[in-house]
Amino acid sequence: GAGVSQSPSNKVTEKGKDVELRCDPISGHTALYWYRQSLGQGLEFLIYFQGNSAPDKSGLPSDRFSAERTGGSVSTLTIQRTQQEDSAVYLCASTSTSSYNEQFFGPGTRLTVL
């Protein structure tokens, strides 16, 4: 079946602009995660959605970052007023209750802020 997909694959933007990154999880997966992978910080958790529960936003680095998940499926990560330190690969993952805690990752979006 189809895996986790993310779009765009690459995004180049200018400092101060807003960007939206999209994640399509595996069909039927109830949990969705966003992680950030950067040279300086490694792989870090950003936000977690589980069904209709309130998301765990504890990893979001600032109030410029937000995410939503519509209809329990597609998720959008929005970064407002981008800064150069936001440059990173943003990874999305999903999982189901039957997958024994294995998170299935998408290919990521490489964001470059000029």
Partner 1 sequence: AQTVTQSQPEMSVQEAETVTLSCTYDTSESNYYLFWYKQPPSRQMILVIRQEAYKQQNATENRFSVNFQKAAKSFSLKISDSQLGDTAMYFCAFMSWGAQKLVFGQGTRLTINP
Residues that bind partner 1 in the complex, under the rule CB under 8 A: 31, 33, 35, 42-45, 48, 50, 56, 59, 89, 91, 93, 100-103, 105-108, 110
User: Smaller CB distance to partner 1: residue 8 or 16?
Assistant: 8
CA angle 109, 26, 31 (to 5 degrees): 90
Closest distance of CB 100 from partner 1, Å? 7
Residues β-bridged to residue 56: 48
Residue 98 vs 101, nearer CB to partner 1:
101
Least distance to partner 1, CB of residue 105, Å: 4
Give the nearer residue to partner 1 in terms of CB position, either 43 or 114: 43
Nearest distance from residue 101's CB to partner 1, in Å? 5
The candidate with the shortest Cα–Cα distance to 45, out of 103, 97, 4, 85, is 103
CA angle 81, 45, 101 (to 5 degrees): 145
If one counts every other C-beta atom within 10 angstroms of the C-beta of residue 96, the result is 15
